[in-house]
Amino acid sequence: MAKGTIIRFDLSAPKIAAKAKAGQFVIVRVNETGERIPLTIADKDEFAGTITIIFQIVGKTTALMRSLKEGDLIRDVVGPLGRPAEVENLGTVVMVGGGTGVAILHHVAKAFKEAGNYVISIMGARDRELIILEREMAQISDELVITTDDGSYGQRGFVTDPLKKYLGERYDIKLVYAIGPIIMMKNIVKLTKQHQVKTLVSLNPIMIDGTGMCGGCRVKVNDQTMFCCVDGPDFDGFQVDFDELILRNSLYLKEEKDSLLFSIR
């Protein structure tokens, strides 16, 4: 994995591994005082009974997870949660992933490839250090484009640039599947809307229980309130209210910082 901030775990969870499908997630609570955080299943190995999660260190819980060593235990892992991605043979599909979103994209792209699609993958990151799963993605993609914001690797620019090119050149693209920062998904949807290409986005709002109980993860889709954990996480990108989602996801930034400071102290 990329050094430092992006971490990969293989968790031994045979029951979940046996059931997990692409696009589903797990909720993890590291220790007794920990919070519950949703992490998408990036891969699974039914025979070894493991699931793979990939995360970036953004807050206290992920920082805490970084300190775990091989063989350590995580207090709670619950899953698989959410609806699996609807995978079918459509012809040509474009898979777009930004940042750690690629971790999830990999699982879904693999499923689309196995279903017989022509898979074009576009993955983006801030810089070279944050590119993950390049080899794995290359294996399952028919075409792979990598972009970095600073141009330190692959094309310079955002994932929307190659996407725009593809949409302009190829008229057989049936589906765009996007996952990554909300703002990225928002821009992708803006673009695909112009070309009227069906777009699925995988959302990752703030969640607590992950079973439809709290409603903390609600998103507005087609002017209706949906619960990401049981109705999603994949939604029709054209109908998602991204602005609201951005604001909802930034509600606890201050507390997040307080929590980190507390743990350092």
Partner 1 sequence: MLDHDVKYLRFKSYLNTYCPHCQNSFNVDKKSHKQLEFKAVYEGQPIDLFLSPYLDVFEVEASIPLKKDDVLDDLICPHCNNSLIKKDIQCGECGSHVAYVTITAVSRLIPFFICTKYGCEWHGLTKKDERHIKLKIPRQNMPEQDQTLRVHNHQEVPYGYTSELALLEAGRCLQCKNPQCVTGCPVNVDIPVFVALVADGQFDAAAKKIKERNVFPAICGRVCPQENQCELKCILGVKDDPVAIGRLERFVADYERKMELVKIPMAAKNTGKKIAVIGSGPGGLTVASDMRQLGYSVTVFEALHELGGVLTYGIPEFRLPKSVVQFEIDYLKQLGVRFELNHVIGNIYTIDELLEHFDAVYIGVGAGLPMFMGVEGENLGNVFSANEYLTRMNLMKAYRFPEYDTPMPKGNRVAVIGGGNVAMDCARTAQRTGAQEVTIVYRRSRHELPARIEEVHHAEEEGIRFMLLTSPIRYIGTDSNRVKAMECIRMKLGEPDASGRRRPVPIEGSNFVQDCDMVIIAIGNGPNPVIFSSSPNLKRNKWGYIEYNPETMETSIENVYAGGDIVTGSATVIQAMGAGRIAANAMHAKLQSKK
CA-CA-CA-CA torsion sign (71, 59, 185, 157): negative
For residue 29, which of 101, 69, 70, 79 has the smallest C-alpha distance? 79
Site string for partner 1, 21-50 (x = CB under 8 A): ---x----x---xxxx--------------
Residue 62 CB, nearest approach to partner 1 (Å)? 11
Residue 8 CB, nearest approach to partner 1 (Å)? 22
> Residues 124 to 183: which contact partner 1 by CB under 8 A?
none
Rg (CA), the chain: 18
Which residue in 56, 68, 198, 252 binds partner 1 (CB under 8 A)?
A: 252
Ramachandran area for residue 233 (φ above 0: left; ψ -120 to 50: alpha; else beta): alpha
Q: Which is nearer to partner 1, 63 or 90 (CB)?
A: 63
Q: Which is nearer to partner 1, 15 or 156 (CB)?
A: 15
Residue 225 CB, nearest approach to partner 1 (Å)? 6
Q: Are 148 and 128 within 8 A, CB to CB?
A: yes
**Those residues with Cβ within 8 angstroms of residue 258's Cβ, 6 or more apart along the chain or in another chain:** none
Q: Which is nearer to partner 1, 157 or 216 (CB)?
A: 216
Site string for partner 1, 80-119 (x = CB under 8 A): xx-x------------------------------------
Q: Which is nearer to partner 1, 14 or 181 (CB)?
A: 14
Q: What is the DSSP letter of 240?
A: B
Angle at CA 157, nearest 5°, toward 130 and 85? 65
Number of residues that bind partner 1 (CB under 8 A): 46
Q: Which is nearer to partner 1, 211 or 239 (CB)?
A: 211
Q: How far is CA 258 from CA 3, 33, 145, 207, 246, in A?
A: 26, 15, 39, 19, 21
How far apart are the C-alpha atoms of 81 and 95, rounded to whole Å?
22
> Residues 7 to 26: which contact partner 1 by CB under 8 A?
15-16, 19, 24
Residue 17 CB, nearest approach to partner 1 (Å)? 11
Tell me the angle at which helices 242-249 and 182-195 cross, rounded to the nearest 10 degrees.
180
Residues that bind partner 1 (CB under 8 A): 15-16, 19, 24, 29, 33-36, 60-61, 75-81, 83, 208-209, 211-216, 218-220, 225, 227, 230-231, 244, 247-248, 251-252, 255-256, 258-259, 261-263
